[in-house]
Amino acid sequence: MTQKKTIVVSGCCGTIGHALLQSLATLPQYTEVLGIDNNESGLFSLEQEFRGKFRFAFGDIRDGQRLKVLFEGADVVLHTAALKHVPSCELAPSEAIKTNILGVSNVIEAARNARVERVLFTSSDKAVNPTNVMGTSKLMGERLMSAAQASARRHETGIFFSTRFGNVLGSHGSVFPLFQQQIAKGGPVTLTDPDMTRFVMSTRDAVSLVLESLELAQGGEVFVSKMRALRIADLAAVMIDCLAPRYGLRPEDIAVNVIGSKPGEKLYEELLTEEESHRSLQLANFYVILPAFLDLYGVEYTYETAQPHEKGQIYRSHEQSLLSQEEIAAYLRESGLLPDGGA
């Protein structure tokens, strides 16, 4: 994509949407950026932060007609808006359907209408063998994007694809700000299960996945970053050691309470299913999951340095080489989540 482009970011007030705006501000290939969200106060804050550099508009992905208006003239759409919290989706599945499934369908239809060149959907590793409504809705979003690509082949209306994130440390509602708040109050820090493991990424990692896959995508794929894995108990221990002194507290005085797993919560996450492993490729930084019904797409998927993925290798977080507490501390500082000079 060497020609200058107009790009739309849905969910621009969220952690990933905001981080994407900050990166796009440094990229000269985008002549115009439009941020869309249904958070009025958040949009006002972004307008103050970027001071006329970008345009912002109030809009909800549940409103397909509004999206058709907002997507007019767009070359690229980065769709990050979603309901992302497992408990809220579990308690109100109909709302998750409206946003995470019907909302994706609205984005696809509006993008087709505007003849957008590239449409990216941000998914989650919870879409792999989902055990909850949120993960199931994200899996359906991925399948809608792949189906949109099959239709795009017939109508020549662009490239549709997905990226699959792990747990983005520091994002709204993630465990990092929760632990930080609990430590600041003197504890206790609450753990669901001492053996729980997760794939993690920083906002910087997430933005890199989005922007790099945007260049690589050929249609219908799911791009998955090769992520670090850690034990949540180790993350809590590192944060207590590093942050307690900054609040005038002693780490040994911060209690850790085990409260048990939440309904629908896995002890570990997976990056891809066994079935997906049979149609995946490996790049230096990514796994690329190709569409299941390749004959529908008419694409010969070729990427530089791509290697066939080992069939049956599904990468569960608890089976990986987990980061040590020292490595977690270094990663958090590198990601800007802890100040330099911590424990």
Domain ranges of the chain: 5-166+201-226+273-315
Give me the pLDDT at residue 341, please: 52
Which of the residues are catalytic? 126
Q: Rounded CA gap, 57 and 91, in Å?
A: 29
Show Cβ contacts of residue 131 under 8 Å, excluding neighbours closer than 6 positions: 264, 265, 266
Q: Rounded CA gap, 243 and 266, in Å?
A: 28
Give me the pLDDT at residue 155, please: 62
Show Cβ contacts of residue 15 under 8 Å, excluding neighbours closer than 6 positions: 168, 170, 171, 172, 203
Give me the pLDDT at residue 343, please: 44
Distance from chain centroid for Cα 101 = 16
Give me the pLDDT at residue 342, please: 45
What superfamily would CATH give domain 5-166+201-226+273-315? NAD(P)-binding Rossmann-like Domain (3.40.50.720)
Beta strands in the chain (DSSP E): 5-10, 30-37, 55-58, 76-79, 118-124, 159-165, 167-168, 189-191, 197-201, 222-225, 228-231, 256-258, 280-282, 286-289, 307-308
pTM over 0.85? The answer is yes
The phi and psi torsions of 315 (rounded to 5 degrees) equal 60, 80
Phi-psi region of 264 (alpha: psi -120 to 50; beta: other; left: phi over 0): left
Residue 159 CA: distances (Å) to CA of 111, 112, 221, 273, 302: 10, 10, 10, 24, 15
pLDDT in tens, the chain (343 residues): 456 789 999 999 999 999 999 999 988 777 799 999 999 999 999 999 999 899 999 999 999 999 999 999 999 999 999 999 888 999 999 999 999 999 999 999 999 999 999 999 999 999 999 999 999 999 999 999 999 998 876 666 789 999 999 889 888 878 999 999 999 999 999 999 999 999 999 999 999 999 999 999 999 999 999 999 999 999 999 999 999 999 999 999 999 999 988 777 889 999 999 999 999 999 988 899 999 888 877 788 888 888 888 887 888 999 999 999 999 999 999 988 887 654 4
